[in-house]
Amino acid sequence: MYMMAKHLHMTAVGISVLLFVFRFIYGQMNPAFLQKKWVKIVPHVIDTILLASAIWLCIILSQYPIVNGWLTAKVIGVIGYILFGMVALKSTTPVKKWGGFAGALVVLGITAKVAVTKQIFFL
């Protein structure tokens, strides 16, 4: 069960990140693209699968945010990634868009590092 949940979660992470990068870059070339119905729906479906698989993994491993510091840091990182992603996709100025995009990728990298090492602090 664990491997199935982990693979589902990792696949959803990969698809979610690829969709974010694709939407951002293609949205820079053609802003009307971001208004297409499938572009608005598919990321929510993938992110729902991502969240459900994360909860499933927490239950399987008996590790929960607040109780486990690294998991709390990971949840905070995901929230930061979402907020920066919103800035990247919804801002009207190029500086804010690219700043949000860069911020999202930096927070994503830190969150991935925490997920892999299960350590909050690393150098």
pLDDT tens digits, residue range 103-121?
Answer: 999 999 999 999 899 888 7
Q: Check residue 11 and give its pLDDT.
A: 96
What average pLDDT score do residues 48-68 get? 90
Q: Check residue 65 and give its pLDDT.
A: 86
How sure is the predictor about 24, in pLDDT bands with cuts at 50, 70 and 90?
A: very high
pLDDT in tens, 28-39: 998 888 889 998
Residue 53: CB partners within 8 Å, gap ≥ 6?
A: 5, 8, 9, 12
How far is 79 from 75, CA to CA, in rounded Å?
6
